[in-house]
Amino acid sequence: KEIIIATKNAGKAREFKRVFNDQEFVIKTLLDFPDFPEIRETGKTFAENATLKAHAVMEQFGLPTIADDSGLQVDALYGQPGIYSARYAGDHNDAANNAKLLSELGGVPKEKRTARFVSTLVFANPKNDDDLIVEGEVKGLIGSFPEGDDGFGYDPLFYVPELGKTMAQLSIDEKNAISHRGNAIKKLEQQWQDWINW
């Protein structure tokens, strides 16, 4: 049994593999297929983009496929960067994205730097008519400088008040325990075994 995670993002791939390791199926990601073409994310919502990615990959491989579309919503920026989180500063470059976020929030005081990470997962399968869709989120504050070396993307700027740390200061298990993606995966785990037709 094989499941494909429709992502080229190494940080996401690591988090999925950590949860789905040691099970009776094999997990692959698009990092195992470097020639797989870029999927254009033309949707207007996380769910639309995750659906596009899941179906493009499912149709190519004929296998059960999970896609994640995710991003950061910052209240003081009216929910931006949102679905544009990966390419906020142009090309996909985490350091440039973080620098742009800090500059956009320049002068905004701590209590107004509220934000959330959102992850929408779509599980598509050739033998199921309908997709399984779940969403997870986590709330936090955008710091005024990066802290921590783990994780990816905006993690060094995403401060989790309950833990007194940024996401980039958490181990992968600590991050999965509270993160938007971890929360979405937990919802998926409660449903997918009953849903899937192998």
Task: Give every strand in the sheet of 114-124, ordered side by side.
Answer: 26-29, 2-5, 65-74, 114-124, 132-142, 158-160, 165-166
Judged by CB under 6 A, how many residues of this single chain contact ligand ITT? 23
Residue 121 makes contact with ligand ITT by CB under 6 A: no
What tokens appear for 123 in the block? 């599980």
Among 85, 125, 169, 176, binds ligand ITT (CB under 6 A): 85
Q: Determine contact, residues 162/95, Cβ cutoff 8 Å.
A: no
Contacting ligand ITT (CB under 6 A), which of 51, 52, 56, 69?
A: 69
* Positions marked active-site: 69
Q: Does 98 bind ligand ITT (CB under 6 A)?
A: no
Conformation bin of residue 39: beta by default, left when phi > 0, alpha when psi is -120 to 50: beta
- Which CB sits closer to ligand ITT, 68 or 131? 68
Q: Does 7 bind ligand ITT (CB under 6 A)?
A: yes
Residue 166: left (phi > 0), alpha (psi -120 to 50), or beta?
beta
Q: Is 11 annotated as a binding residue?
A: yes
Task: Please give the residue whose beta carbon sits closest to ligand ITT in the complex.
Answer: 153
* Binding flag, residue 179, ligand ITT (CB under 6 A): yes
Helix (H, G, I), strand (E, B) or coil at 107: coil
Backbone angles phi, psi at 133, to 5 degrees: -125, 130
**Which positions lie near ligand ITT, rule CB under 6 A?**
7-9, 12, 41, 53, 68-72, 85-86, 97, 117, 151-155, 167, 179, 181
